[in-house]
Structure 1
Amino acid sequence: MSLETVVEDIRDEARARAEEIRDEGDERAEEIIAEAEADAEEIREEREAEVEREIEQLREQRLSSAKLEAKQARLGARRDVLEEVHTEVEQAVADLEGDRREELTRALLDAAVDEFDDGATLLVHGRSEDQALIEDILTEYDGATFAGSHDCLGGVVVESEASRVRVNNTFDSVLESVWEDNLKAISDRLFDDQ
């Protein structure tokens, strides 16, 4: 065996080993590429799912926001209608006249006077337009006098000279009490809420 044959054998072995290493390297590179592609696909799928979740969350937020705005607009419109009805009721009460105004004023004065001791000197205030009516009714009460006007829709405010008691029996106070007590029923009736 000559030296050249030995050298050639070593070269062949080296080539074979180099080919083997190259093949192993190619296999490993393909594995790495396959793993990287699988990882990339997994990352892409996760990101797509995350984007879908974010889109759905944003959609839900916008839907909730739109529903809230619609509800607020509906409540604002209801509030406006209720205020308009309240204003119309106030005007109707302020416009009462004749026997009906006298009857209501008398009933409110009677209820107010009952809050004081017999014989107390009472000062009665009322709407300036009702002064003549109140003074006429007061002729039936001993110790009660008209003491000046009070800014109201009608009725009376009665106070005693001897005590700090003040009874507000104005149409306004009765209307507000009735309004507050019946606001839900009024709203239900106006807006057909069941």
Structure 2
Amino acid sequence: MGLEAVVNEIREKGRKEVETIRAETRTDVEEILVDAQTRAAGIKASAQEEADRAVTHIINQEASAANLVVKRQVLNAQKTLLDQVYSASLAAVGDLPAEFQEKALTALLKRAVKEIKKGVVHANERDSPVVEEILSQLKMFSGYTMGAPVDIPGGIIVESNDGELQIDYSYRTFLDEIWESGLKDASDILFT
């Protein structure tokens, strides 16, 4: 029985060592699993944050692009409207009564004669007879001759006899000057 007791003792000792090793292994495995799960959760959270950032970035880009398209459409509509106002203004100035046209043309000729004493006066076909009459009636315009009609909505263009100097007193020129200086004000009034 002595041998059997020794064998049992060795077996018992072996079994205890196996249980100890198994317990240590289980503990190590659990620690490894917990560590792996922690790492996986960190990786998942990091990936989710990156995905959220990417989604936010894409949404912001799309919103910016959409805003830009809308602004461009609004600006194009505003430009179209302002162009229509400009054209209507130019047409309205050209359609003013003959009495106004005569006074305006006389005033423009008086202004031009201060800069060009002798020259050729051009006007549109509608105003050419009026300009010819003004030139023939007032002595101060004796240095002027009537030139060929030009394509302007109204007003005059005076050119020196030598062709070196030209003054554009067409209505379009005046409207352009007013338009440029008043464009911001007009835009503010119309679109705010």
TM-score by length of 1: 0.88
| Whole-angstrom distance in 2 between the partners of 1:45 and 1:60 | 22
1:129 correspondence with 2:129: no
Task: State how 1:115-154 maps to structure 2 within 5 Å.
Answer: 115-116=115-116, 120-139=117-136, 140=138, 141-154=141-154
SS in 2 for 1:129: coil
Structure 1 residue 54: deviation in Å?
2.2
User: Match of 1:65?
Assistant: 65
| Whole-angstrom distance in 2 between the partners of 1:163 and 1:86 | 31
SS in 1 for 2:151: coil
Q: Deviations over 1:73-130 (max 9, x none)?
A: 22221111111111111111121231111111111222122112xxx43111111221
SS in 1 for 2:45: helix
| Whole-angstrom distance in 2 between the partners of 1:124 and 1:113 | 10
| Whole-angstrom distance in 1 between the partners of 2:118 and 2:55 | 76
Aligned residues: 189
SS in 2 for 1:91: helix
Considering only aligned residues, what root-mean-square deviation do their CA atoms show, in Å? 1.9
- The answer (yes or no) to whether the contact 1:109–1:155 under 8 Å persists in 2 is no
Structure 1 residue 9: deviation in Å?
3.5
SS in 2 for 1:66: helix
Structure 1 residue 186: deviation in Å?
1.4
Q: Which amino acid in 2 is paired with 1:123?
A: V
Q: Which amino acid in 2 is paired with 1:167?
A: I
User: Match of 2:56?
Assistant: 56
Structure 1 residue 4: deviation in Å?
5.1
1:175 correspondence with 2:178: no
Indicate the larger mover: 151-160 or 107-116: 107-116
| Whole-angstrom distance in 1 between the partners of 2:129 and 2:166 | 22
| Whole-angstrom distance in 1 between the partners of 2:33 and 2:9 | 35
| Dislocated runs of 4+, deviation >3 Å | 1-12
| Whole-angstrom distance in 2 between the partners of 1:150 and 1:9 | 128
Structure 1 residue 46: deviation in Å?
2.0
1:97 correspondence with 2:94: no
| Consecutive unaligned residues in structure 1, runs of 5 or more | none
| Whole-angstrom distance in 1 between the partners of 2:156 and 2:51 | 69
TM-score by length of 2: 0.88
Task: State how 1:28-67 maps to structure 2 within 5 Å.
Answer: 28-67=28-67
Q: Deviations over 1:7-59 (max 9, x none)?
A: 44434333322221121111100111111111111222222222222222222
| Whole-angstrom distance in 2 between the partners of 1:4 and 1:112 | 139
Task: State how 1:6-17 maps to structure 2 within 5 Å.
Answer: 6-17=6-17
- The answer (yes or no) to whether the contact 1:123–1:147 under 8 Å persists in 2 is yes
| Whole-angstrom distance in 1 between the partners of 2:52 and 2:25 | 40
User: Match of 1:188?
Assistant: 188
